Each structure stands twice: as structure tokens, then as C-alpha cells.
Amino acid sequence: MSFSVVDLFCGVGGLTHGLTLEGVKVNAGIDLDPACRYPYEKNNDARFIERDVGELSSDDIKSLFPRGDMKILVGCAPCQPFSTYNQGKDHKNDSKWGLLYTFGQLIEEIQPTIVSMENVPRLSNHNVYKDFVQLLERNEYKVKPFNVYCPKYGIPQTRKRLVLFASKLGELDILPSFCDPNQYSTVRQAIGHLEPLQAGEVSTKDSLHRARNLSTLNLNRIRASRPGGSWREWDKDLIADCHKKETCRTFTSVYGRMEWDKPSPTMTTLFHGFGNGRFGHPEQDRAISIREAALIQSFPEDYEFVEKDSAITFMKLGRLIGNAVPVNLGKVIAQSIIKHLETYS
Ligand SMILES: C[S@@+](CC[C@H](N)C(=O)[O-])C[C@H]1O[C@@H](n2cnc3c(N)ncnc32)[C@H](O)[C@@H]1O
């Protein structure tokens, strides 16, 4: 039986691309951010539908599956309300909080054979997650969640993700991990081949291999930083006032350099700023470039994110790339689904 996928909250297509590379047909991706259209359609043979998922009817989504195809619905409802940074804040008014309920309601109405949901691990502590699982079980899905540590799947980044599979056919297991710590993909393997850049410079070969400029103070700070070290090792005159306070002494996960022979820290939407995390290049005096972040997210090097000659802003590209599902995690999800379908065919 042929099967195909609709990808809700598809972004620039990290998940779609991983599925596609493994031969899984993705018919369409839906996202409300217009900036996702170009990269999504340019790099994937799938339609981009610029809509708010909350405003789509189940019939709209059903119509995206060819008649007779087994339906697979995948989705990565935005995780901002669940991220560590947002813990403890009041999200009652955050409309994104409800998107997992919307996803659940669509599943109930569409009854796809397989569902894949990806999010931050802390989601599982929230009632919205428990309600989501109960909804799936009520609808006779076998539900299996997995806490995925990306380096164990060859992704050069210490990202942790929750992947939840639900299937009407039986238990759907994630592919066993295949990397021990001594086999983890490293920053060097991901970006070590790119030409050197200075802060503020753009490569002449690839307009996305560009690094943000640094103030004189931040340039001095990164010069004083060693891979894997922290600002605690700097001379006093370089240390930010807030870090001089006793209460902030433990905040060492900013102003750091990556280490060549380890996976990078988790990419965020602000990877382009040296002060925003451990996003300093291992040896060049700058934060990583946009292309380097995309490679660490395991996008192929020729993945196109913007139309030729269009404006490139760090904030926009940071949002698009930092929010993406790593392509190689998409491949793992695809392989898991294919194996499951082979078992139950
Ligand atoms: C975590 S990202 C998804 C990453 C994507 N699945 C991938 O594979 O690269 C979440 C996406 O949800 C989109 N989004 C947020 N609210 C939405 C809504 N109400 N309807 C549709 N898309 C929405 C954002 O624009 C963002 O691209």
C-alpha cells in the first residue's frame, strides 16, 4: 500500500527533508511563516501551504493526501511554551500553548494510520502532553515516546528531543541508536572544511557563510576564550557586570567557544551571537556563521534558505535554522516508520 505524509508546522523543512532523503513521499507542509516557503519548496518536492494550522479544517488536510494512500501525519508544534527559558512564566495567554490540542483534534478527525510528534523533552511534564497521549489512546493508537539524544544518532549537536510515535498498526519503535560517545559526530566533521572567516565577513562562495560583527569588547572576550572554557577564566575587565554578581557566577553557558572534537551545543535561534550561548567558533574569533549552524543542524551544504540576491538577516535566518528539526533526525524518523510498515505489511 502506498503511503504519504503531511507535515504540520513544517518550517524550512528539516523533518520533511529527512523523510524525503529516505524515500518517504511528503505531499505538503503547512506553516504560517511566509519565509519558510522558499526553502521548503526549493529543496523538497512538496507543496508549502502558508496557513495557521489552528485555522485549518480536517477536510483541508485530508484533501492533501492522494486517494487511497495510507495517511501519515507528522508535526512539531512550536515548543517555545515548553522550553527551559520559559519555565515558570505564565503562558495562559500564549496562543501557541494550544497548538498541541489543535494537533490532537486534527488527529481525532483525520484518523491517520501513523502520527509522529517531535518536541522538547520537558513537554512530557505538562498536562497538555498527558491529554495528547490520552487522546491518542482513546483513538486506538499504540503510543510510544522516546527521549532522543541527537549525538547517539550521528547528529553533531547535544540536542535532546522527545519523539512520540503513535500507530494504529502496533507499537512503533524508534531505530536503535548507533553511536557510542567515541563515535559522536563532531564540530570539526560538520564545519571544519569551511573557509576561515572574520567577524563581520561574508564568504564570496556562499552568501550564508557569514559571521556577525563583534564589538571591540566582544572581540577581546572571544580572543580570551578557549574551546570548552568559560568567561570565568577571563581578566576582570572583560567580565560582564552581571556576571560579577555572586548570583550569576553559575551562568557559564554564554560567551563560550565550541570544541572541535565534540558535538556542538544545541542550536538555538540566536546561534549567530557570541554572547547568546556557546556559539563561538572553536578557533576563529567570531560566532559561527549561518551556514555552519545549518550544517550542525545536518542540512546538506547546498540547502537553499533564501532566494538569490534577497536580503539576508541574522535574525530571520537564525529563526528559520534554529527552529528546524535536524535533517538527520528526520531520517531516523523515516527509517523507523519504514521498518514499522515493513513489519506490519
Ligand atoms: C519548531 S518549528 C518546526 C520545525 C520544522 N518541523 C522542521 O522540521 O524544520 C515550529 C514551526 O511552527 C510554525 N508555527 C507556529 N505557529 C503556527 C501556527 N499556528 N500554524 C502554522 N505554523 C505555525 C513556526 O513558524 C515554525 O516554523
> pLDDT-based confidence at 231, cuts 50/70/90?
confident
The structural domain count of the chain equals 1
Q: Tell me whether strands 160-167 and 142-149 are parallel, antiparallel or unpaired.
A: antiparallel
**Over the chain, what is the mean pLDDT?**
91
Ligand 1 proximity of 15 Cβ (cutoff 6 Å) = yes
Q: Is residue 260 part of a domain?
A: no
Q: Is residue 107 part of a domain?
A: yes
CA-nearest of 33, 66, 113 to 317 is: 33
Ligand 1 pocket test, pick from 60, 86, 120, 323 with the greatest ligand atom count within 8 Å of Cβ, gives: 323
User: Atom of ligand 1 at shortest distance to CA of 53?
Assistant: 20
Q: Is residue 98 part of a domain?
A: yes
Q: Is residue 287 part of a domain?
A: no
pTM given for the model: 0.93
pLDDT (0 to 100) of residue 85: 46
> pLDDT-based confidence at 233, cuts 50/70/90?
confident
Ligand 1 pocket test, pick from 8, 31, 106, 155 with the greatest ligand atom count within 8 Å of Cβ, gives: 31
Q: Is residue 64 part of a domain?
A: yes
Q: Which residues are annotated as catalytic?
A: 79
What distance in angstroms lies between residue 326's CA and the mean position of ligand 1's atoms? 14
Ligand 1 proximity of 324 Cβ (cutoff 6 Å) = yes
Q: Residues 153-202: pLDDT tens digits?
A: 999 999 999 999 999 999 999 999 999 999 999 999 999 999 999 999 99
Q: Residues 199-227: pLDDT tens digits?
A: 999 999 999 999 999 999 999 999 999 99
The range of the structural domain enclosing residue 43 comes to 3-175+325-344
CA torsion through residues 82, 87, 92, 94, sign: negative
Residue 298 to residue 329: CA distance in whole angstroms: 9
Q: Is residue 251 part of a domain?
A: no
Mean pLDDT (whole number) for 60-88: 79
> pLDDT-based confidence at 49, cuts 50/70/90?
very high
Residue 77 backbone phi and psi in degrees, to 5: -55, 140
Q: Is residue 44 part of a domain?
A: yes
State the CATH number of the domain containing residue 89.
3.40.50.150
Whose CA is closest to atom 18 on ligand 1? 52
Ligand 1 pocket test, pick from 7, 8, 9 with the greatest ligand atom count within 8 Å of Cβ, gives: 9
> pLDDT-based confidence at 229, cuts 50/70/90?
confident
What distance in angstroms lies between residue 191's CA and the mean position of ligand 1's atoms? 26
Residue 322 to residue 224: CA distance in whole angstroms: 27
Q: Is residue 75 part of a domain?
A: yes
Residue 330 to residue 306: CA distance in whole angstroms: 21
